Structures are given as C-alpha cells and as structure tokens.
Copies of this chain bind each other. A is one copy, B any other.
Amino acid sequence: MREVASMYFTMIAVFLVVLVVALQGTAPRESPFPYTVPLDPQGLLELSWNVSYPLRLVHFQVLVKEPKFGLLFGMSDRGEFENADLAVLWSDGRNSYFGDAWSDEEGQLHMDSQQDYQLLGAHKAPEGLYLLFRRAFSTCDPKDYVIEDGTVHLIYGILEQPVHSLQAINTSAIPTGLQRVQLLKPNISVPELPSDMQSMAITAPDVVIPSQETTYWCYMVELPEKFPKHHIVMYEPVITAGNEALVHHMEVFQCAAEQGSVPGYNGPCDAKMKPAQLNVCRHVLAAWAMGAQAFYYPEEAGLAFGGPGSSRYLRLEIHYHNPLVFKGRRDSSGIRLYYTARLRRYDAGILELGLVYTPVMAIPPGEAEFQLSGYCTDKCTRLALPPAGIRVFASQLHTHLAGRRVVTVLAREGRARRVLNADTHYSPHFQEIRMLKELVPVLPGDELITTCTYNTQDRSRATVGGFGIMEEMCVNYVHYYPQTQLELCKSAVDPGYLRRYFNLVNRFNDEEVCTCPRVSVPQQFASVPWNAFNRDVLRSLYGFAPISVHCNKSSAVRFPGEWEKQPLPEVTELRDAAPRCPPAPAARPPAPVALHLGRGQ
C-alpha cells in the first residue's frame, strides 16, 4: 500500500502534464454539453454530457456544488455499488487524486488496470467544482461497464471525510445514490419548425409537493370548445426552477372521445375523491422523463389533437420523487406542446406491440431471468399496413415492476433483420419515449417480436399478465407514420395449450389425475408446485404452442380473419455483433512472409 502511494506521488508531475495537454486538445469548444441531469435529490451534483458517435465516447462534466473530500461517479448494471465501474476523486486533506476504479462483489474498490475514465480537467468556480472527463462506450477491460443504448444506471457517492487511499473508501458508509438516464442520446438534427407554430403549456398550477417519497399528481386541462384539428410537432418539459431533482417524469394523456365531458381535478392520482372518469384518459400525447430533452416529430408528420372525434380533455400526470421528504415545496411543472394548424403531410400513429394483457402469460416465482415474447405476425402486418409500409421513429418500452430488459426485433421472411429498440438495463422506474437513431421501415409481411425479461427472485407465487402493478405487461408503443387503423398487434399463448400444460403438470407431479374443478388461470398458476421441471416445461410451452393474435383496430375490434391457434413465427436469430474487443493492433501489417527455397518450392 505504501509503495503504491509513493508511486502515486512520483507520478503527479507526469500526469499534470498529460492533464493539461489532454484538456487543451480534447475539450469541445462551444455548447459542449447538451444534456444535463441532477444526480442527487438535492441537486448538489449536476451531470452534463455529450456523445461522440464517430469517436464512440462520452464526455462527462460533473458540477459539485458543495465540494467536500471527493466524489464517486460511475455506472453499474442496475445501480448497485457492487461490480460497478467508477471514476473516483478523493482527497487526503492535502492533495486530491483521480482514478478509474472498479468495485468487486463486496463493493470494495480497486484501481483499474486500464484507466478508461480519462480526466480532462478540474477547476473551481463560484458555483462549485467542475470535473471533466471522458469514457469510451466500450473499453476492452473486462471490469468495465459497456455503455449501451437505452437506460444507464448512474451511481454517485460523496466523500465527507478525508481518505488516504482508494482502497480505504467504504462505499457502504458514505452517502450514495442512483440516477437513471439515457446516456447515448440519438444524434439526430432538429427538424424545421412551422412558422405559424403556437404553444400551450400544460402545467399544474402551484402544487404543494406532498412530503412523501412518491406522488403521482393528476391535473385535468380542457381544450377550448371547437378547437380544430392541429398537429403537435414538438413538446418540451417546463420545470419549476429548483425542482429539477424532484420532477421524475410527466405525461400528457388525452381522454377517450366517447366519454364526453370529464370533471376538472388537481390532486394526487390515487386519491379517493378523484373522479373515476380520469381513468379513461389513457391516449398518450406527450411523455417526458428526467434527462430527456424536447421531443420533435419528424418534419413530415405530426400528432393530431383537437377537431371532431377527439376529446377536449387532457390529463397531466406528474411523478414527484421526493426521497428526502422535503416539505412545502411548490411546483408548477408540466409540458409545453407546440402545434400547428397547417397540418403536416402525415398523421403520426402509435402502435402497441408485445403481449396481450392476459393471465395466460405468466412468470414462475424465483426466476432471475425469465423471458416472455409477444408476436406481431406477418399475417397481421400484411393485412393492416399500407403497401409502402410505415416508418417507426420513436418507441416507449413498458413493463411493470418485474421487467428488467425489453427488446423488439424486426424479422422479414423468417429471418431477424434488426433490433427496432432494445434496453438491456430497462427499469420500470424510467419509461420515456425515445427517438430511434434512424427511421425503421416496417413493411407488410414483416414480423415484430417483443421480448421482455423478468426477475421474480423476490416473489413466492407466479406473476401473471394483467393490469395490476404486481401483474406484468410486455409492451412497446411504437410511434410511426403514416397513421393506420392498426392500433395494437400483440399475442398470447393459445389457452387450450395452457390447459394441457396444467393437466401435464398435475399428472407429472402426482401420478394421479387432477380432478380439480375449472378454476381461473391465476388460481391454476398459483397452485402449480414450482420446480425445475414445471418451470422448464412452461418455458418450452411458450416457445412451442400456437398463439392467439390480437390484430386490432382498437382494443376491442379485430381486423377480420382467423387469429386463433396461429403458428408461432419461426425466426432465425440475429447474429451477435462482432466481438467488441478487436485484437491488439498487429505489430506489422498482415502480409505473408516470403521465403527463398529455390526453384519450384
């Protein structure tokens, strides 16, 4: 330990030089950090970043508003401090040090053999201490986190006492926290906006944020009478200054046109006195989550609202996340919609992919990674999509509490072609509408397979599909244009085959015929004696049995055709991408060695 420390000091001079050179050479010049997010609930740590796709790296800037004796910042699979990848700034009271570290299964820190968080600068300013560093998406250090598309769980820790070495930091004894962000924002240019653009702020008026960790706040807004059809072309968050760390996510829903008038409301969404009609306001107009920026529709499309056949009532829902239980904080946050009366060429639409909300799709208890897949079949897309197909430009993934991963794959002629959207670190606590990196065309005859991975290790009974928070969903809302009649394209296992499964399990486990009366599917799942065989066979059933397909114009109206007992699509898997770590560059270029062996050899 002493030797290591002395080595550190010996190398200070060297590194300071490296530091200055790197800082001058690499720091981006103007508008360097387009994305900003508070890390902690008090907003004392502020992260800004930018992404370079050509260089495949991220520049980070952390502003420490009240610097103490250092900071841990990093990433891990789900926000834990074990097996994490960390940049650490620490001070022994006299000198400060920076290093790339990793934590083992016990949360103990170690210096990384390869320093991949590269410090580019550190300076003090009136508002606090700025730290600037960068990190490649993917290093070849097996201890390092790989920055992928989708959710990244950022973690931080604050050193309130001097520490004399990295190894002396006890991550379980310091204030720590977690923030989820989409680090790899797509690199798409802002479309041109219409000159007649108007805006409308849907904001909750002067809410007193309840002094509890989690509040879903509901506020009803009414559009003017005879408000004609417009196209929403963009929306952005409006956050009350100082509340950046409390406003976790917000959505604007439109009520169902059939419902007629809906009473006004301004209060918690789960309050007993909340009017029941609010529950029919489920058509998403806009969604924002922490770390997201303004959302722009593609230039040729807009989201229709207003006009006949469209409800005048909108519901704003705000999730306040107040873990420090601040009292009396006032907030008027919301979302500002930008719209135009000069309708764009295409109406945008939202198509729901994945699993039908039905208990026949279930996850056994105690599973670390159980997958369920929902299919949008070639038969449905052939029937419902226009000959030129549709273009998907955004996607919002959705599960309930057990969801850990969601991916939608597009297949054509039985072969998986591309990932439409994937989040391998998906969290049900961070659901945002994400722009795709590029438009994805979906043609008639294509298949869209949405696979969700669930963790039920903390559960003792099976988790069935359904609407309840302890039931599960597997959904990908894809945003596309031109709008079609197809509103949902989902599937579930054929219920007859599931009955055979229950019969089989009863017989296999008891060697006597089960004569139980016909009970509900959730009750049948609840009575399965879960063991390795019953789990495996359920998995095999879902991978084999025919499906019931919902190819629907609305949640209740199917397209005409036979949709029961459809064959499960057989799709060859997507090939894994090339190995991430190329071999070290060869010492010499690959050319043959020439020999002189005489004629003819």
A540 touches B544 (CB 8 A): no
CA distance A558 to B532 in the complex (A): 30
Which residues of chain A (1-28) have a CB below 8 Å from chain B? 4, 7-9, 11-12, 14-16, 18-19
Cβ contacts under 8 Å, A113 to chain B? 583, 586, 590
Cβ contacts under 8 Å, A291 to chain B? none
Smallest CB separation, A37 vs chain B (Å)? 24
Closest B residue to A12 by CB, please name it: B594
Stretch of A261-269, A354-362, A393-401, A502-510 that contacts chain B:
A502-510
Closest B residue to A165 by CB, please name it: B592
**What is the interface of chain A, defined by CB distance below 8 A to chain B?**
4, 7-9, 11-12, 14-16, 18-19, 67, 69, 88-89, 91, 93-100, 111-115, 119, 122, 124, 129, 139-142, 162, 166, 500, 503-504, 507-508, 511, 531-533, 536-537, 539-541, 543-545, 578-579, 581, 583-584, 586, 588-601
A8 touches B591 (CB 8 A): yes
Please provide the 6 A-B residue pairs with the shortest distance between their CB atoms, ordered closest to farther.
A99-B592, A536-B540, A12-B594, A533-B544, A97-B592, A140-B583
Cβ contacts under 8 Å, A94 to chain B? 599
Cβ contacts under 8 Å, A16 to chain B? 593-596
CA distance A504 to B4 in the complex (A): 64
Cβ contacts under 8 Å, A114 to chain B? 583-584, 586, 590
Beyond A16-B594, A16-B596, A532-B544, 4 additional pairs, beta carbon < 8 A: A8-B591, A91-B597, A504-B507, A536-B536
CA distance A189 to B98 in the complex (A): 50
CA distance A101 to B541 in the complex (A): 45
Cβ contacts under 8 Å, A8 to chain B? 591-592, 594
Query: Do A507 and B500 form a contact, CB below 8 Å, given A111-B590, A532-B540?
Result: yes
Closest B residue to A541 by CB, please name it: B533
CA distance A595 to B508 in the complex (A): 67
CA distance A536 to B592 in the complex (A): 48
Residue in B140, B141, B503 whose beta carbon sits within 8 Å of that of A507 in the complex: B503
A96 touches B594 (CB 8 A): yes
A601 touches B96 (CB 8 A): yes
Residue in B15, B69, B115, B504 whose beta carbon sits within 8 Å of that of A600 in the complex: B69
A8, A140, A508, A541 — most chain B CB neighbours (10 Å): A508
Closest B residue to A496 by CB, please name it: B511
Query: Do A111 and B507 form a contact, CB below 8 Å, given A540-B536, A543-B536, A583-B581?
Result: no
B111 touches A583 (CB 8 A): no
